[in-house]
Chain A
Amino acid sequence: MAQSTAETLKTTPLVERHIAAGGRMVPFGGYNLPVQYPTGIMAEHKWTREFAGLFDVSHMGPSFLTLNSPSGDAEADHAAIAAIIEPLICGDIAGLKSGQIRYTLLLNETGGALDDLMVARSPLFGGSLYIVVNAGTKDGDFARIAAAAGDKAKLTRADGDNALLALQGPEAVNVMAQIAPGAVDLGFMQYAPFDFAGQKIIVARSGYTGEDGFEILVPNANATALWDALLADDRVKPIGLGARDSLRLEAGLPLYGHDLNETISPIEAGLGFAVSKRRREAADFPGASRILAEREGGLSRVRVGLIVEGAPAREGAEILDASGTAIGVVTSGGFAPSLGKAIALGFVPPSHAANGTLLQVSVRGRSQSAQVVETPFVPHRYFRKPKAS
């Protein structure tokens, strides 16, 4: 049984490395990936917060959207490519600087999130965007973007031919300095191409842990060489999907399909920052009427962070008010290794969303205390370049 499942799973170029390192392989997003290595989730999580963790995130969906007939005027070409993607999302892409990355949401007509994604403006050419979407939604996302592009632009998938690695943690920058020295000059949410072993790699200063770090697109042929070169540094250890999830949960970052789905709007999800000012003022994105009304306070539910006393409250656990009335549900929950206690993300009415509000969660039929707290649970430590004076 397990065998027939394994046959239908895709592998990444690093599968042999994961197995050799003792990775416990599990199906995730259609790929065979390590949930943990022998030291376990707790040790991997703490290592990433203290030093640097290396993740294989090749299951995700990197791609490039490029104008078919660029004019050669970089600004005009950028405006033209931005005009293709913007009707699908709520982010200001026209306003991106060269090499700048923006976190945004792909929306349906009722303002629900079809995905959360990164869209970046090429640092080299006008009329080209680097787009990275989630594994579980990538086929649908790419079809939607390609349809919007029509004959004006071409969407080129970069999954399959490339691996995507994430190097995350306070030592990540010192490790990258040895691999691609120029990458240390990137600020948070900037990317650029660099050379590694004679081939181009694309390095973004971004991630999903709340730490400083990099996400690196590398051609399959060089993927194991880069993986090995990064791990040759004793500040770096390989980290599995289990710690990736506990790290992102502590960082208060949503997991698509859990904390975000096609019924949840950016405002409900606490992602109002991803609705760019220019787009808001123009009200020119899918579901704008709902999202703008919610922004003015017309909300029935909102995402909160909870510190949970006792057993972890997992996805699906009911959230109750202090008197025991059901008011919401946990969408992600677990144990926070950095805090030594259980935390959760969930949705409650705005009347119960203020920081400090005492609530309860139902775990195996028993009520446990929970308190609304600000997210991130663990402060972000992104590297933001000082603004040029």
Chain B
Amino acid sequence: MTTKFTPDHEYIRVEGATGIVGITPYAQDALGDIVFVELPSVGKVLKKGDEAAVVESVKAASEIYAPVAGTVTEVNDALTGNPGLINSDPENEGWIYKIAIADAGEIDGLLDDAAYADLTK
């Protein structure tokens, strides 16, 4: 199991051909209290960098981009009733959607732990 990151502070946890996408602890802290999440539709086809979801804090809306190309297979419906899960547990219960990865090669182009840690130092 590998987790990779984008410079826009999304993570993708790769489990076989599926990626679980959310925002990093750094991102949730920067955004503050999340009050609303707009989830993608299951079946939506995304190119790398497409807007996949929107998270809203008290102050502002922020787009969440697709780290890699693929098709949305599942969304975290728990966020509809409890968007604060992104604040309390961004990497586990606060995941946003799952994607069937179209091209595993795109994963290699993302940041690894060390590179992402450098970016947010």
**What is the interface of chain A, defined by CB distance below 8 A to chain B?**
35-36, 40-43, 45, 242, 245-246, 310-312, 314, 334-335, 337, 342, 364
- Rounded to whole Å, the gap between the CB of A49 and the closest CB of chain B is 14
Can you offer 14 A-B residue contacts whose CB atoms are under 8 A? A35-B59, A36-B32, A40-B32, A41-B33, A41-B58, A41-B59, A42-B32, A43-B33, A311-B61, A314-B60, A314-B61, A334-B59, A335-B36, A335-B58
| Contacting residue for A42 out of B38, B56, B58, CB 8 A | B58
Q: Does B45 contact A (CB under 8 A)?
A: no
Interface of B: prevailing SS: strand
Query: Are the C-beta atoms of A364 and B58 separated by less than 8 Å?
Result: no
Residues of chain B lying within 8 A (CB to CB) of residue A314: 60-61
Query: Are the C-beta atoms of A242 and B36 separated by less than 8 Å?
Result: no
Residues of chain A lying within 8 A (CB to CB) of residue B57: 41
Interface of A: prevailing SS: mixed
| Contacting residue for B54 out of A45, A311, A334, A337, CB 8 A | A311
- Rounded to whole Å, the gap between the CB of A291 and the closest CB of chain B is 34
| Max chain A Cβ within 10 angstroms of own Cβ: one of B32, B56, B58 | B58
- Per the bound structure, the CA–CA distance linking A387 and B26 in Å amounts to 54
Residues of chain A lying within 8 A (CB to CB) of residue B60: 314
**What is the interface of chain B, defined by CB distance below 8 A to chain A?**
32-33, 35-36, 38, 54, 56-61
- Rounded to whole Å, the gap between the CB of B121 and the closest CB of chain A is 15
Query: Are the C-beta atoms of B56 and A312 separated by less than 8 Å?
Result: yes
Residues of chain A lying within 8 A (CB to CB) of residue B33: 40-43
- Rounded to whole Å, the gap between the CB of A45 and the closest CB of chain B is 8
Give the 7 A-B CB pairs with smallest separation, nearest first: A42-B33, A335-B35, A41-B58, A335-B58, A311-B36, A40-B33, A40-B32
- Rounded to whole Å, the gap between the CB of A250 and the closest CB of chain B is 11
- Per the bound structure, the CA–CA distance linking A40 and B59 in Å amounts to 11
Query: Are the C-beta atoms of B36 and A342 separated by less than 8 Å?
Result: yes
Q: Which residue of B lies closest to A35 (CB)?
A: B59
Residues of chain B lying within 8 A (CB to CB) of residue A242: 32, 58-59
Query: Are the C-beta atoms of A311 and B56 separated by less than 8 Å?
Result: yes
- Per the bound structure, the CA–CA distance linking A245 and B60 in Å amounts to 12
Residues of chain A lying within 8 A (CB to CB) of residue B54: 311, 364
| Contacting residue for B36 out of A40, A42, A312, CB 8 A | A312
The answer to whether residues A337 and B58 also contact, given A36-B32, A40-B32, A311-B38 and a CB cut-off of 8 A, is yes
- Rounded to whole Å, the gap between the CB of A343 and the closest CB of chain B is 11
Residues of chain B lying within 8 A (CB to CB) of residue A335: 35-36, 56, 58
- Rounded to whole Å, the gap between the CB of A327 and the closest CB of chain B is 23
Q: Which residue of B lies closest to A312 (CB)?
A: B56
- Per the bound structure, the CA–CA distance linking A41 and B61 in Å amounts to 15
Query: Are the C-beta atoms of B61 and A312 separated by less than 8 Å?
Result: yes
Residues of chain A lying within 8 A (CB to CB) of residue B61: 311-312, 314, 364
Query: Are the C-beta atoms of A41 and B32 separated by less than 8 Å?
Result: yes
Query: Are the C-beta atoms of A246 and B36 separated by less than 8 Å?
Result: no
